[in-house]
Amino acid sequence: MDLKIRVAALNFRPWKWHKDWNAGRLEAFFRLAAGRGARLAVAPEGILEGYLANEAIRWPELRRPMLETAEPPDGPYIRRFQDLARELETCLVFGYAELRNRHDVYNAAIFIDHRGRVCGRHYKTEFQEGIDPAWNFNRPGERLRAFDTPLGRCGIMICYERRNPLVARVLALDGARFFCIPTFGADDPAQDRIVLARARENGLPAIQANVNRNLIISEGEPAALESGADRITLADVLIPERPSKEAARELEKEFFRRRVSRMNENRERRRLSKAAGTAAAYVRPRRPANRKIRIGGPAAPKKS
C-alpha cells in the first residue's frame, strides 16, 4: 500500500566553520519539526559546517582547516544526531562535509532513521564548480544508490545533482520511492521547476531543503513552498508502493470496486444537466473538409 506521512523541509543560514553552533540550531529545528508530527525532516546541504568548499577553492590556505573541520563517518556529531533521532522517533536527513581516509573530504548527506540507525549516505557526484584531482577537500562520489529505510527506499540528490535527469532516474530505477534533496544554492523559481520535473518524470515525491527556500512535492504537484530563511515547512506526502504484480492486482481490485459508484455519479450528473435544459434535436454531422496534410518535425532521412 502507498504510505502517507508528514514530512518537514527546514532551513537556516549556518555559521561557517562553527559546527557546534550549527548543530545546536539544527537540533532545535529538528525538535520543532518532530513536535509538529513530522516523521521525516530534511535539512540543507553542508548545514553542519556551513558548506566550505567554495571558500577552500578560492583561498588555498583554508584547505587544511577544512579537513580538520570535516566530520568522520562515525564522528561525535553523527552520533549526536543518531541519539536525537532515537529520542524524537523521527527520521533525519542533513548534509555535511565528511572526512574519509584521514585526508579526503566528501560532500555528504546522511539518512538516520527513527531508531537512530544510519540507513544510508550519499556523496555528491557532480559539482557546479567543476573538479580538480588536487582538490582532496572536495572529492566526488562514485556511486548512485538508493537505500532501504522504514519509509521505503530513499534516493538522495545533493543540490546541483537535481539538475541532471539521469541522477534521479538511476535512483528511481534502483527502487527509490521518494527523493530527499539537501541544497545550498540558487533559490529562484527556475530551481523549483527543476525539482518538480524530476518528481514528475519518476512519479515520486520530493523534499528539498535549501538555505533560503523549501519545496515539498507530492503526487506530481507542489504540496508546500516557502521562501526565506529560518523556516520549517510541513506537508503530507504520498510515498508510492514499490512496483510489483501483487501491488498492481490489489490496486486493480480497488479500481473496479470504485468504478461502479463513479460511473453512476457521472450518469446522474449527465441526467441533471439534461434536465436543466431543453434537449435539441439531433443534427447529423457534416463531412469534414479534406484539408492538406501538414507534417511537423525533422525531414525524412536521405536514402543512401
Which pLDDT belongs to residue 261?
87
Which pLDDT belongs to residue 269?
83
Mention every residue, 6+ apart, whose C-beta is less than 8 A from residue 257.
none
264/268 Cα distance (integer angstroms): 6
Decide if 216 contacts 183 (C-beta within 8 A).
no
Cα dist. 37→8, 85, 205, 264 in Å?
9, 13, 18, 38
214/45 Cα distance (integer angstroms): 12
Q: What is the pLDDT of residues 124-142, one digit of tens each?
A: 999 988 889 999 999 999 9
Q: What are 285's three cell numbers?
A: 454531422
pLDDT exceeds cutoff 90 at 288? no
54/257 Cα distance (integer angstroms): 57
Average pLDDT over residues 167-182: 96
Q: What is the pLDDT of residues 102-122, one digit of tens each?
A: 899 999 999 999 999 999 999
pLDDT exceeds cutoff 80 at 277? no
53/138 Cα distance (integer angstroms): 6
182/293 Cα distance (integer angstroms): 50
Q: What is the pLDDT of residues 209-248, one digit of tens each?
A: 999 999 999 999 999 999 999 999 999 999 998 888 887 7
Q: What is the mean pLDDT of the chain?
A: 92
Q: Which residues of 264-287 are buried (b: 16+ CB within 10 A; e: fewer)?
A: eeeeeeeeeeeeeeeeeeeeeeee
pLDDT exceeds cutoff 80 at 281? no
Which pLDDT belongs to residue 278?
59
Side-by-side strand order, sheet with 221-227? 154-156, 178-182, 206-209, 213-218, 221-227
The band of 30, judged by pLDDT with boundaries at 50, 70 and 90, is: very high
